[in-house]
Structure 1
Amino acid sequence: ILKIISSEAFLLLIFIYFLSRISVLAPPHLQAMAGLPFTLACNITMETGEVLKQVLWLDMANKTILHYQPDKNDHVTKVDGVELSQQTASQQAHTSVITIRRAAPANEGCYQCLFDVYPTGQQRGRTCLSLTAMVEMMDNKTVVSGKPLTLSCKYVLSMRVRQVLWKKTAEQGDTATVASYVKNDRPIIETPFKGRITLNPSLGQTKLSIHQAQTEDEGCYTCEFHTYPDGIKSETACLSVYVLPKPEASYVTVSEDIVEANCSAVSRPAAEISWNVEGHNQTLGPAVTSFYQLGDGTTMVVSSIQMQAELLDDELVKCEVRHQGLESAIYVSLNKYRNFHVIPISASCVALVLLICLCICLKRC
């Protein structure tokens, strides 16, 4: 019995001796952002006389993802997406750092660094990786009234998502739930939005579609991913709804030599109106601009300017309307001679019709 105890004690002493001579350092836990690169590092300290023959890195399935021999720096065997980013060596220590190009859900787990040391044998370090993620959402959007649009956002760790929720915050600050989706169920559209909005049944990439945008759809939309164990992850984007102007121009006679020209445009947001004379780019005196807020969220802008009546004969007077939703300005011409031409043409048409009717009547008579 004494011999057996002595043998076990001897082996224990040998183990403690070698343990004190060699050690591997690696962070036990590491967190990385999904979609971004991350690094893993191990360091081994050895005693004099020990030689590092080979370094291997294993993934969570114990498959080799990279290995090399320290004395052969130009010979590294690795899988796609993994790089040896750093190695520093001395007689008593060696540091190995690898980079995985893009963190994905499949990369979660525990990695091992293996150091083949002679004569001690193989030494191991272990680092467990967990992922975190941010919600990816499109930037703020603008849509023309009556047109369709889709708001979308993405959470790459979809296996953690239990529910997706869309909320809308109006300009006044009121927040309302628009739609929601729970796994293995149908999307729910709240009553005020039914018939106009749809939500795709997805927990990872959610899309809220508005069939025909209206001014009341303007506001900020938040997509919430209710996850476990990370809690609620959310992001917000704002939607602006434009109503494009359809300007109209007319004039009235103020006195024998003076006319007042008026140009109006209803839009959202308010349009900018100016006057000019073609060929001269000349503003015809100060204009008076009035703004009228309409009940549907649009604004009527009316610009009035007085001018000499003769300008309608000599120049091409135009109303120029600019709006954020237009690539270029809209021009509406205002000319007296065009009104004069309309009357003779119309009169000629009426006379021609009367003449034809008279001829038909005479033949029948």
Structure 2
Amino acid sequence: LATFSHRFGQEVNAVYRGKVEFTRAALNSTAIRLRSASWEDESCYICLFHIYPEGSKRRHTCLKVTGEPPVLHDQLSDHLHAFSCSATGKPAPSIHWELPPNAAVENQTETSTNRNPDGTVTSSRSVTLRAPPLWSGGVYCVLNQGTVHISFSLLLTVASSSLIIIIIIISGSWSSHQILASSLFNQT
């Protein structure tokens, strides 16, 4: 993908120009960013350090690509609100809802899954809530990716027939930009 040396500086292979950029370039610690990561980028990468006179040192880092989940809201009536959440990944993401204690659940579906031609799985789940006038509360779609258990919450607040959408990323890497970093001396 890319190389760094004091003599030649930062070099990105022509195929990856515009997609790969250095975020840190030093002889003992280097990091690159992959822009617009796709499923094809999911792999383990080797970081090779040539050190004189010790020779070459190799470290590897693995990239897991996930997608950012959409949450849809549909106001069915003055007080009835339907929310749906879906996510695509490898392995299949699990989805559950975290609802405020005063939420009146009208209907909640089990998580449905569909296998895609590229080997990924799309999971979907929905919930319908009854919200009285001037009701305010948070509805969270929480996603877990396989054994990694990366969780994200999307906060949706319904307040007196108007909808405010706020996206909160709790932790993890549900992003289209990924950072690959390797350090020769500070391995975890």
Equivalent residue for 1:194?
A: 17
TM-score (normalised: structure 1): 0.30
Tell me the secondary structure at the aligned position of residue 280 of structure 1.
Answer: coil
Please give the alpha-carbon distance, in whole angstroms, between the structure 2 residues aligned to 1:303 and 1:228: 56
Aligned residues: 149
Question: Among the aligned pairs, what percent are the same residue?
Answer: 16
Alignment of 1:63-82 (within 5 A): none
Please give the alpha-carbon distance, in whole angstroms, between the structure 2 residues aligned to 1:182 and 1:297: 38
Please give the alpha-carbon distance, in whole angstroms, between the structure 1 residues aligned to 2:2 and 2:35: 17
Larger radius of gyration: 1
Alignment of 1:12-27 (within 5 A): none
**Residues 193 and 296 (structure 1), Cα distance of their counterparts in 2 relative to 1, 3 Å cut:** farther
Q: 1:291: how far off?
A: 3.5
Please give the alpha-carbon distance, in whole angstroms, between the structure 2 residues aligned to 1:181 and 1:318: 47
Please give the alpha-carbon distance, in whole angstroms, between the structure 1 residues aligned to 2:25 and 2:97: 49
**Residues 296 and 251 (structure 1), Cα distance of their counterparts in 2 relative to 1, 3 Å cut:** farther
Please give the alpha-carbon distance, in whole angstroms, between the structure 1 residues aligned to 2:117 and 2:136: 35
Matched, 1:274 2:94: no
Q: Which runs of 5 or more residues in structure 2 are unaligned?
A: 144-149, 163-188
Amino acid at match of 2:19: R
**1:123-161, CA deviations, whole angstroms, 9 ceiling, x for partnerless residues?**
xxxxxxxxxxxxxxxxxxxxxxxxxxxxxxxxxxxxxxx
Larger relative strand fraction? 2
Q: Which runs of 5 or more residues in structure 1 are unaligned?
A: 1-177, 254-258, 340-365
**1:41-93, CA deviations, whole angstroms, 9 ceiling, x for partnerless residues?**
xxxxxxxxxxxxxxxxxxxxxxxxxxxxxxxxxxxxxxxxxxxxxxxxxxxxx
Q: 1:287: how far off?
A: 1.9
**Residues 318 and 291 (structure 1), Cα distance of their counterparts in 2 relative to 1, 3 Å cut:** farther
Tell me which of the two structures has the higher relative contact order, counting C-alpha pairs closer than 8 angstroms and 6 or more residues apart.
2
1:288 to 89, 95, 110: 110
**Residues 212 and 271 (structure 1), Cα distance of their counterparts in 2 relative to 1, 3 Å cut:** farther
TM-score (normalised: structure 2): 0.50
Larger relative helix fraction? 1
Equivalent residue for 2:85?
A: 264
1:320 to 105, 124, 140: 140
* 1:266–1:298 CA contact under 8 A, matched in 2: no
Matched, 1:338 2:161: yes
Equivalent residue for 2:172?
A: none
Tell me the secondary structure at the aligned position of residue 288 of structure 1.
Answer: coil
